[in-house]
Structure 1
């Protein structure tokens, strides 16, 4: 038992170290936004399919900005609800996108139609469930693009996850791994190639967008954000990713557990292919450490082993790290992490199901659409 305990402790320790290294730093939007060289004309483009219950906070937050967007365009992506009516009543220009054909997949078609209709010099694509949390958020995003990105390539933000219901904590590991899997927040920094961009918030210059082909060039990609980022890199443009805490947030899958499973199923089977092997190894080791700490504690309880208190200490150490990492991505509550093996198991089951749908059935479902992958 002592030998197994020592081996388990070493593996758990290596996994814990991997957890820190894979999310070494998460940069945020710059302060001091008054240093903008000028006031760029920013067109906000919001692809929206059946978003009547989510889009109002975003539109209201745009109206509250002290740096007003040049225009707000909502692309009604064949909605069957009141999305278009609500968008118009909140000051947005609404254009229809009634049909997807000719190989288009997902929201790429709506983004492309919105970009063609936009007249601003900068294009900011925002998901309908996002929200700018401060009145200067738009100015800070623009300043980050100007100062940190040199108005070059893509600037993208992963919004901070606002959690309200208990079941939403099942997204904790997904959020952590989405951030880590972008390859840009680890200790290796630029020495590891980035995976792409964050889809909920993408800012780019209009001329660059159309030069690279924009969403039309990645119309057949399920994960259009990753594909768009890769397209920019192939064209020689940088892609910079930031964390959205304190600037932009979102609430994911508020309709319930079924939507949460459907959403993460769509994302993960495809997205995992973009993660660098070194980062993937760190993620796998970190998840394995979580299961191992659980097994060590269970074994000590069943066998009444001398390592009982040590197993508890290791269990709680991993729990505290998991909670710390999760809080960097969303406002998750501590009590749910006391039972973190449930979160680990849920993640693994959904990930395996996602791989099955992507590799065997070659189809996933999202927003009432069957998407071929």
Structure 2
């Protein structure tokens, strides 16, 4: 028991230290006023996104950046997505819509859609962005400035998450919670070893020349979490990559309810552990089981110390991610129960190869 509790506190303190580093280093994209005129190809893969796509397209149209093209690839949608995009493009000359080819053998859907989009793009930068997002003014100039300043081949941003229902609030904050207390984001750029990598497919900005030379999506054509794999490839190839918080310039509502959020997260969580089920289980045991072991000791000094570290961690991560700290503190126990469910489903679906997303088996 003593050994378990000692390891638990070591794990909690280590995660607190990582969170503190991220909070102090503040890894966010900074707004800049310097104007750029590089051609940016904004590339959007869509599949059954009739509820979201117009919000994204309108936010792009309202950008204060002028030199861009938007290419939307419809990946066999069965709803009104294609019609809505076509009508919008007809009224805006720098928007166009294409139909995706039938899914090629050996590819996953999104990866193949992004590959096709890149073949059509003519910009100096390729910006891949998901259909459930909205962009704020200043985003493109700020992102291009960062690309030049850091000499990046890839800049990825973690979007601010919009959560309207209690179900979303029980699941979606787990993304930033795990990210910001496991990995110091600044190290993605500073450490050249490819093993230190993270990225979000919600916003991937590439130097176009480097992309054309390497065809990153083709190299990860069968990877479920292609964003992290691409960041690893970028760094392994000797290029600079960086991942930052979006700082309010990209907003996203990933899911609309608890069930969708649990299913969506269970698709991706194992990727953070390179699909090593043992390490994933060890992490889950210590992040959830460890605090429970401390609680049953009834040692109030240990309990208060542990609770204080967890609460401070939740506050720092919430502020960094632009989330409500009070909600995350109050809902923390229920979020941990949700994490347990997600872990079970992630392992079960990985071992049985029964992951299905947007109607396709992955």
Fold match, TM over 0.5?
Answer: yes
| 1:221 maps to which of 216, 220, 223 | 223
RMSD: 3.0
| 2:142 maps to which of 126, 140, 143 | 140
Name the structure 2 match of 1:271.
Answer: 272
Whole-angstrom distance in 1 between the partners of 2:204 and 2:228: 11
Name the structure 1 match of 2:99.
Answer: 96
The alpha-carbon deviation at position 291 of structure 1 amounts to 4.2
Task: Give aligned pairs, total.
Answer: 350
- Report Cα offsets for 1:311-347 as digits up to 9, x if no partner: 3564354234224324423424514532422212321
Residues 1:18 and 2:18 aligned together: no
Name the structure 1 match of 2:161.
Answer: 161
The alpha-carbon deviation at position 187 of structure 1 amounts to 11
Name the structure 1 match of 2:92.
Answer: none
Whole-angstrom distance in 2 between the partners of 1:86 and 1:182: 40
CA 1:178/1:54 → structure 2, altered by over 3 Å: closer, same or farther? Answer: farther
Whole-angstrom distance in 2 between the partners of 1:188 and 1:235: 14
Where does 1:358-373 land on structure 2 (aligned, <5 Å)? 358=350, 360-371=351-362
CA 1:114/1:177 → structure 2, altered by over 3 Å: closer, same or farther? Answer: same
The alpha-carbon deviation at position 294 of structure 1 amounts to 4.0
The alpha-carbon deviation at position 235 of structure 1 amounts to 2.5
Whole-angstrom distance in 1 between the partners of 2:356 and 2:79: 19
TM-score, normalising length: structure 2: 0.85
Q: For structure 2, which runs of at least 5 residues remain unmatched after alignment?
A: 90-94
- Report Cα offsets for 1:1-40 as digits up to 9, x if no partner: xx96x984x5554333222333322421133331x5x410
Residues 1:205 and 2:207 aligned together: yes
SS in 1 for 2:185: coil
Name the structure 1 match of 2:172.
Answer: 171
- Report Cα offsets for 1:269-305 as digits up to 9, x if no partner: 2332189x9xx79x967972554444444553xxxxx
CA 1:207/1:274 → structure 2, altered by over 3 Å: closer, same or farther? Answer: farther
TM-score, normalising length: structure 1: 0.83
Contact kept, 8 Å, 1:14 with 1:285, in 2: the verdict is no
Contact kept, 8 Å, 2:314 with 2:325, in 1: the verdict is no
Name the structure 2 match of 1:304.
Answer: none
Whole-angstrom distance in 2 between the partners of 1:271 and 1:90: 37
The alpha-carbon deviation at position 309 of structure 1 amounts to 6.9
Name the structure 2 match of 1:61.
Answer: 59
- Report Cα offsets for 1:111-137 as digits up to 9, x if no partner: 11111111111111101112113x112
CA 1:245/1:189 → structure 2, altered by over 3 Å: closer, same or farther? Answer: same
- Report Cα offsets for 1:215-237 as digits up to 9, x if no partner: 12211111111222222223221
Where does 1:279-358 land on structure 2 (aligned, <5 Å)? 288=286, 291-300=289-298, 307-308=299-300, 311-312=303-304, 314-332=306-324, 334-358=326-350
